[in-house]
Chain A
Amino acid sequence: MRFVLLGSLAAAMTLALLATTTIPSMYQDELTQEYSPAPHNWAGSATCRACHQDQHASWYRTFHRTMTQEADEESVLGDFNGETFRYWGIGVRPVREAGRYYFEYLNEHDEVSVRLPVLRTVGSHRYQQYLTQTPNGGETYFRIHLLWHMEDERWMHINGVFLRPDEQGFDDRVAVWNHNCIFCHNTGPQPNVVNMDELALRELAGEQVNSALEARYDSRVAELGIACEACHGPGAEHARRNRNPLRRIALHLTDERDPTIVHPQKVSQAKSVAICGQCHGQRTPPSRAHLLQWIDSGPTFRAGAELEEHVVPVFRDTAVPPGIDPDLFRLRFWNDGTARLTAYEYQGLVQSACYTDKALTCISCHTLHSGDIRGNISNANRGNGPCLACHTEFADDVSAHTMHAADSSGSLCYDCHMPKLVFGVTGIHRSHRIEVPRPASDAANERPSACTNCHVDQSIGWAVAQIDTLWRNRPRPAVAGASYLLESLHGGDPVERAVAAHQAGTVPDSERAWLIPHLLLAMQDNYPSTRNLARKSLLVIDGGLQTAGIDTGIGALARQFDFIGDAADRAVLIAGMREAWQRADKTRLPPPPAGALLDTHWQPAQPATGTLLDAGRSHRKQIAIGE
């Protein structure tokens, strides 16, 4: 046996030696050659899975995969129980029949006027929208008016997720999937407008053409949802070439990167962030020719390219195409150019010193391949890890820098340097512009500020004094004043009001009871989204009171409050809640802070509150965007 074993080992070593010496040189030319993928040479995630099981499995869990799905029992999350929901006087009934899902639209006699099948779903994290086709609509998919909100477990009209004032109509947000959603919610989108020439001719003849609704589509996608190739580039050629085991051995034995596929960690910083930025960075086509190409054969950007070679990322001062509201882009940013809507994370990142002066990319914090799928952040990156990787000087004693207790949220880097001031998908999210808190500048720019986002009872003057005293070695006396959060909640523009409404209720703390009367005012805002955020904050604070054994009776009424429902119903509930607040035993509540803007009866102090509300209503340009 000894001879057989030694002989076998010798044979194995000879084979291994041969492999390591000869195989890499066989493929050296191919692996170092520049490779440009054919734009639609897609393989599909099932092909990727054959070799990359772990990566496939980790991606499969994500909300990216389920961004768009064919409607079936597994994908549909809404409660199709036949209950009727009425918005702007029109009744809609989600029903399920024989394993299929439908929306029944009712006429004024509550009879079914049209019944639309649910064919596809869009979204699976916060809320799910539904797509249908009309009998004569061909391949055109329309977005249905109701969506299912997962967190709130309720149906709501699509208008409820936008930041728009009450003056809206039932059909305002009807959208054509082939013209809109297809681009960022799928892999390898190709809208394929089949009557483009006809539309162009009509437009040339001076006719008004609604290209979204009048186009006829033969749309295709490489894969529904955001799959492997959205981030790694079209992979059919990669799969074909790597069926050859010798090529794979060559790749393993050399430091060469496989040119047929993109690895976000192995490309330049700009190319890496471009991969996420292709969707998480609002953009416009560089020219009309590009636009026409997009709506025909889809966007030209592929992973591995520089984003700005294919698109114009939208910033505050980006020129708006002629004929469109010149403030369209400006209103999507705070006055200092920081994005205030989601899907501008790319812009925020490239505006940050961590990007321009350091090597930060999206994948420094995020990954689709491990950790918590909410936010796609690995467990290791949940805390201060990604920041301390570069800012090592703070690692030993974080609180010496943060001036907050080491185990408090004030010692989490992102709570101060990436404050929550971005509206989107019915919530408020972190800014991706990593910045140093500057309260004075924030107030001047009429935007939320990191300090007062948490210290909700404090004025901006207090925040300025704290920054100077604690971080700039210029001690200043504390400045009393009205809570900056309240100034924003009542007197800010719609996005300021929405952010303040959310920040009011970030902790279930009975100490925040003084915010309740102000939140009741915010629940009468003329922006449904702000009403929704105010209601949620009120419920959080009410939870804190309940924990402390104090029941004001407001929580039960707030739970019935439909922020986008009938105005009369809302008014009744608001009146009930105000009455409950009046009746509540205030002696059991923690005393209100100095900047609480409350009178002796715990009601919003006048005229200060009234002045702020007038300021809020007077904002000339009302933002009307932002799903």
Chain B
Amino acid sequence: MTETSPARKCLRFGWAAVLVFACLGLLLESLHLVKLPLYMEAQIRRELWTLAHAHGTLLGLVNVVFGLYGSQLTATAAHRASAALRTAAVLMPAGFFLGGIGNPETDPSLAIVLVPIGALLLITAAAIAAFSAWQPADAATGPDKRDRKVLQK
């Protein structure tokens, strides 16, 4: 079975995320449409769910961009950054969304803890990608540690 490249994974994930979070946006609009008290009368929930929609969509697009240009990084960097980026794109919107469920009047629920973890992963992904992007051009295309392991096999 051919191993899917990290960039391809991100591309797949990214478009799926855009689809899912665009649908969530539509759902939020519908909640506005029917003026559902559960949503309309809880400012903090509205804010958190809006943030879930926004972060999910934006991170989906970041994944799409990574899917287009991630192959220009070293294989190891692409692999690690891709994993971190996709996990961040799950954790951050999930944290915002779940933070708006069962929350007290003034704060998100404890599920909000997923957001900083996701944020750290996002920053990590960006750092890995940035570090790799600053490497000489041949380092990106030449075999790195991970590629060598594959070749040795």
Contact = CB atoms under 8 A, between A and B. Distances in A.
Interface stretch (A10-18, A137-145, A489-497): A10-18
A16 B110 CA distance: 6
A3 B109 CA distance: 25
A469 interface: no
A52 B106 contact: yes
A242 to B, nearest CB: 8
Interface stretch (A109-117, A180-188, A244-252, A403-411): A244-252
Contacts of B117: 8, 11-12
Given A8-B91, A53-B43, A54-B43, A248 B107 contact: yes
Contacts of A52: 105-106
A548 interface: no
B104, B110, B111, B114 pick with most chain A CB within 10 angstroms: B110
A248 B106 CA distance: 9
Nearest to B107: A248
Contacts of A402: none
A573 B46 CA distance: 59
A57 interface: yes
Interface secondary structure of B, over-half rule: helix
Interface in A1-24: 1, 3-5, 8-9, 11-12, 15-16, 19-20
Interface in B93-152: 104-107, 109-111, 113-114, 117-118, 121
Contacts of A26: none
Interface string A27-58: 00000000000000000000000011111010
Nearest to B105: A52
B50 interface: no
Query: Could you tell me the dominant secondary structure of chain A's interface residues?
Result: helix
B41 A8 contact: no
Contacts of B106: 51-52, 242, 248
A249 B118 CA distance: 21
Nearest to B125: A4
> Interface centre among A5, A12, A248, by most B CB within 10 Å?
A12
B84 interface: yes
Contact of A16 (B42, B84, B113): B113
Contacts of A1: 9, 82-83, 86-87
A244 to B, nearest CB: 12
B28 interface: no
A210 B105 CA distance: 49
Contacts of B109: 252
B70 to A, nearest CB: 13
A57 B43 contact: yes
Given A1-B9, A4-B121, A252-B104, A12 B113 contact: yes
Nearest to A57: B43
Interface in A234-250: 242, 245, 248-249
Interface residues of A, number: 25
B51 interface: no
| Most interface-central of A54, A248, A249 (chain B CB within 10 A) | A54
Contact of B110 (A57, A242, A249): A249
Nearest to A252: B104
A609 B139 CA distance: 110
Given A12-B114, A54-B42, A249-B110, A4 B84 contact: yes
A365 B12 CA distance: 55
A55 B114 contact: no
Nearest to A6: B87
Nearest to A17: B110
Contacts of B24: none
Contacts of A20: 110
B90 interface: yes
A55 B105 contact: yes
A12 B114 CA distance: 6
Contacts of B121: 4, 8
Nearest to A248: B107
Interface in A274-324: none
Nearest to B83: A1
A286 to B, nearest CB: 36
Contacts of B111: 12, 16
Contacts of A8: 87, 91, 114, 117-118, 121
A53 B44 contact: yes
Interface in B31-46: 41-44
Contacts of B107: 245, 248-249, 252
* Most chain B CB atoms below 10 A, which of A1, A5, A242, A251: A1
A248 B87 contact: no
B35 to A, nearest CB: 13
A19 B110 contact: yes
Nearest to B45: A54
A251 B104 CA distance: 9
B43 A4 contact: no
Contact of B83 (A4, A242, A245): A4
A245 B42 CA distance: 20
B44 to A, nearest CB: 7
B57 to A, nearest CB: 20
Contacts of A51: 105-106
Interface string A245-269: 1001101100000000000000000
Nearest to B82: A1
Contacts of B86: 1
A353 to B, nearest CB: 34
Nearest to B84: A4
A248 B42 contact: no
A310 B110 CA distance: 42
Nearest to B40: A54
Contacts of B110: 16, 19-20, 249
Contacts of B91: 5, 8, 12
A54 B118 contact: no
Interface in A187-207: none
Interface in A497-523: none
A43 to B, nearest CB: 14
A183 B104 CA distance: 34
Nearest to A50: B106
B41 A54 contact: yes
Contacts of A19: 110, 113
A52 B96 CA distance: 19
Contacts of A4: 83-84, 87, 121
Contacts of A251: 104
10 contacts: A1-B83, A3-B83, A4-B84, A8-B118, A12-B114, A16-B110, A19-B110, A53-B44, A54-B42, A370-B41
Given A1-B83, A5-B90, A249-B110, 5 more contacts: A4-B83, A4-B121, A8-B91, A16-B113, A54-B43
Closest 6 CB pairs of A and B: A53-B43, A51-B106, A1-B83, A4-B87, A252-B104, A4-B83
